[in-house]
Amino acid sequence: MKRLAATVLSILFLAFSALPVAVAQAQEQPRLRVDLDQLNPRVITTGSTSITVTGRVTNIGDRPISKLGVRLQLGTRLQSDQQIGDVLAGGKFKDLSATEFVDLEPDTLEAGQSATLDLAVPLGPSSKLQFPKAGVYPLLVNVNGTPDFGGPERLAAISLLMPVLGVPGKAPSSRPPAVPSAPSASLLWPIANSTVHVVSSPLGGPLTLADERLADELAAGGRLDSLVAAARAAEADTKVSSSLCLAIDPDLVATVDGMTRGYQVATGGGPVPGKGVETAKNWLGQLKALVAGRCVVTLPFADADLAALTKVRAGDATDTALLSAALGGATTIKNLLGIQPQDGVLWPGGVLDSQTLEAIGKAGVKTVLTDSGRLQSGSPVSGGVSIEGTDLRAQPIDTLISSALNGSGSTQNGLGAIAFRAGLGGQNEEQERSRLLIAPPRHWAATGPELTSFLGRMGDFYGAGLVKPAPLPELLGQGPSGTASVNYAPQDLTAATSGDVTAKMSQIDNETLGLSSAMTMDATKRVNPADVIAPVRLALIRAASTSWRGADATIATGNARGDLDAIRSQVTVERPKQTIALASGASPLPVFITNSLPVGVAVQVALKNNVGLRPTDETQLQAQMVPANSARNRLLPVEALRAGRFSVDVALTTPDGTPLGSAARFELTSTEYGAITIIITVTAAGALLLLSSRRIYRKIKDARTDRANETAPRVTEDAQV
């Protein structure tokens, strides 16, 4: 009875212990989503008369929500990096003031339905929102509602940073004058792929893309079109224009250039013609116009994880072909856009360990643009520094501003973080920055209006003297302020390209090297073997793209494997259409080899599963050169080891054993044995006969001896006596 009671109590204890957890988990499930379309103004000044917020509220839960209301809440002035970070992370803050809730229409939202958010709040001495003085403030768009089977609660919210240059309603003189020590600012503008689009791009063959997403991004209003259009619109403001430096992915430029000549899109039913040829031509023309006379820096090809590329050939530190190709994008940009990027300047993604730093230094990189949070030094890092143990210079990208530009409300939060860095948070050592390098996310997906508004407000900051525009070359031309080491947080290492991916990349790379070593330039075709292999090399670099983070290794390396197999499949042995009858036991085996590549290939023949057949001249299996775009018929001396019908697989390899094409099964029939086989058989039969005869002879001899012993007279012991 006691045991039963104890069991019941234990069950009840576990049930009640788990209940709060279950309730908490249920409460954590989001029920509403807020999408802001407009926030006006983005910066509060003495002339600001109201704040307008428009957007949509959508029920993303599984039950109706009623009594929807929205209001704005203003927090206290932010004065530290930690406070800024808490707001960006969606943390709670102490309210300074708040408006009344305004009902949304419709009042009740079923699952999946949306309501329009349209809120206008007057500013001034009598406003519900009071900004005591210039600074950066947290502004919360707070949506409350009552779900079915629940009570009223906050169901969605967006935290924004609001820069305040002057108190609304006060005289303009109350605005703080431009600070003489205002920091200089340079702005990187990323023009990069959001993901890997290329499936294959063989030499002389069609460019094949995974889908039409790239064409959509290039089209009017698309992500890439918006980035270029916003930067072109900002050309009217010389201060903004001079501080802007375009960071371009050479893989993107090369891919779009390929699209202009026609391309295919992979589908389940096979490739179909792409529809974005004219779109690609128009966008590439706009980009060429934008970069003319501007500062340009290169990203690694396909935004590859450089540390992953150094691990692919870790056993051969002298072979840096993949890394060099990933860092060689300046040539692509110059050839296709007509602009020379900044020499030796690189904005890499991923982890830069000591091995990678050494490798990129040897490859010609002089300056690395990297997050300030990854630079560790004995003194605060306020400008360029020398990286310990290398000849490289690191120019820090402000981590706080980069974090603000990433995620919901990115452009608004970015403006708030820039204003905070410029001194609106109060001048202390933590906040002061004499030189700011501002970098949005590499795959920035802000809308066109957001991008245009962001650059417009940057112009306002320059005009107000809050920050000073500085061209990036000017920033890089200043001497290093000290030394630092490069360190990475655990989450950076976790996000790095996995060992499974680099292992598969190494396997493909080794096979590629084997295939390349068997190729020679054909005197008539004049095609460099490196050009034939180049698509595989580029596909391997794309496999290390930071956009693949978290992807399965087979998927990430699938295109590289496909490109390699497509090249190898062009060197084949033809499968006979009918059974080959060996005229004699030692007839030659006809092997017809075709090389469809524009280079010569050294081909070696291998017989597999050849139980009924053996080559009589091993030298005929050794590598022989098959010229470009030609075929050769080789007669292999073989010997049938048995009569009847049997099969043998004929495969091709390079001299080092790298497979070519696929094996072809030869069906054979033989009515007699070869001479060697007969000799062996006769010899074996003779030996068997000799052994049998010897055994019979011994048996006869032993039998005679036994009979002789039986007939001989016996001498007894008595007779002897």
In this structure, the dihedral spanned by the alpha carbons of residues 620, 621, 623 and 624, taken in order and rounded to 10 degrees, is: 40
Sheet holding 571-573, edge to edge: 571-573, 588-595, 630-640, 613-615
640: phi then psi, degrees, rounded to nearest 5: -75, 130
- Rounded to whole angstroms, the Cα distance separating 168 from 640 reads 100
Mark out the alpha helices in 544-590 (DSSP H runs): 553-556, 558-568
Indicate if the pLDDT at residue 265 is higher than 50. yes
Residue 61 CA to residue 7 CA, distance in Å, equals 38
Tell me how far apart the alpha carbons of residues 515 and 601 are, in angstroms, rounded to a whole number: 8
Backbone φ and ψ for 400, nearest 5 degrees, come out as -60, -45
For residue 578, what pLDDT is reported? 76
Nearest-5° Cα angle at 659, 656 to 661: 145
Consecutive H or E run containing 438: strand 435-438
Q: What is the reported pLDDT for 286?
A: 98
Q: Can you tell me the mean pLDDT for 39-56? A: 94
pLDDT over threshold 70, residue 179: no
User: Residue 432: what pLDDT?
Assistant: 52
pLDDT band at 474 (very low <50, low <70, confident <90, very high): very high
pLDDT for res 26: 36
Give pLDDT tens digits for 341-365: 999 999 998 888 888 999 999 999 9
pLDDT at 683: 56
| % of residues, the chain, pLDDT over 70 | 85
Q: Is residue 62 predicted with pLDDT exceeding 70? A: yes
In 3-state terms, what secondary structure has residue 43? coil
Lowest mean pLDDT across 19-33, 271-285, 530-544:
19-33
What is the Cα Rg of the chain in Å? 39
Q: 644 vs 63, which has greater pLDDT? A: 63
Q: 611 falls in which pLDDT band (50, 70, 90)?
A: confident
Q: Is the pLDDT of residue 9 over 50?
A: no
| Total H helices, total E strands in the chain | 22, 33
Please tell me the distance from the alpha carbon of residue 708 to that of residue 274, in angstroms, as a whole number. Answer: 104
> Quick one: tokens of 621?
């299996």
pLDDT exceeds cutoff 50 at 232: yes
Cis before 106? omega within 30: yes
Residue 624: phi, psi to the nearest 5? -135, 145
DSSP structure string for 338-391: S--PPTTEE--BS---HHHHHHHHHTT--EEEEEGGGEE-SS---S-EEETTSS
The helix/strand/coil state of 566 is: helix
350 near 496, Cβ under 8 Å? yes
Q: Rounded CA gap, 544 and 367, in Å?
A: 22
Residue with more model confidence, 318 or 231: 231
- Token readout for 224 is 């890439």
Provide mean pLDDT across the span 212-219.
98
The pLDDT confidence band at residue 429, using thresholds 50, 70 and 90, is very low
Q: What six digits make up the tokens of 531?
A: 């050009």
Residue 300 has pLDDT above 60, yes or no: yes
- Burial (Cβ within 10 Å: 0-12, 13-18, ≥19) of residue 239: middle
Full DSSP string of 165-226: SS-TTS-GGGSPPPPTTPPEEEEEEEE--SS--EEE--TTS-EEESSSHHHHHHSTTSHHHH
Q: How many CB atoms lie within 10 A of CB 583?
A: 11
- How far apart are the C-alpha atoms of 405 and 383, rounded to whole Å? 21
25 confidence band (pLDDT: 50, 70, 90): very low
pTM as predicted? 0.84
Which pLDDT score, from 0 to 100, does residue 8 have?
35
615 preceded by a cis bond (ω within 30 of 0): no
pLDDT for position 174: 44
The pLDDT value recorded for residue 4 is 38
Q: What is the mean pLDDT of the chain?
A: 86
Starting at the edge strand that comes first in sequence, how are the strands of the sheet with 50-59 ordered?
32-40, 50-59, 114-122
Q: Is 217 exposed, middle or buried (0-12, 13-18, 19+ CB in 10 A)?
A: buried
In the chain, what percentage of residues exceed pLDDT 90? 63
The answer to whether residue 76 scores a pLDDT higher than 90 is yes
pLDDT tier, 92 (very low <50, low <70, confident <90, very high otherwise): confident
- pLDDT class of 645 with cuts at 50, 70, 90: confident
What pLDDT, on a 0 to 100 scale, did the predictor assign at position 507?
94
| Res 677: pLDDT | 47
Handedness of CA 337, 342, 347, 348 (dihedral sign): positive
**pLDDT confidence of residue 281:** 98
Q: What is the pLDDT of residues 105-143, one digit of tens each?
A: 888 999 999 999 999 999 998 999 999 999 999 999 999
- Which residues does 348 contact at the CB level (< 8 Å), separation at least 6? 299, 300, 306, 360, 368, 369, 370
Lowest mean pLDDT among 104-108, 376-380, 677-681: 677-681
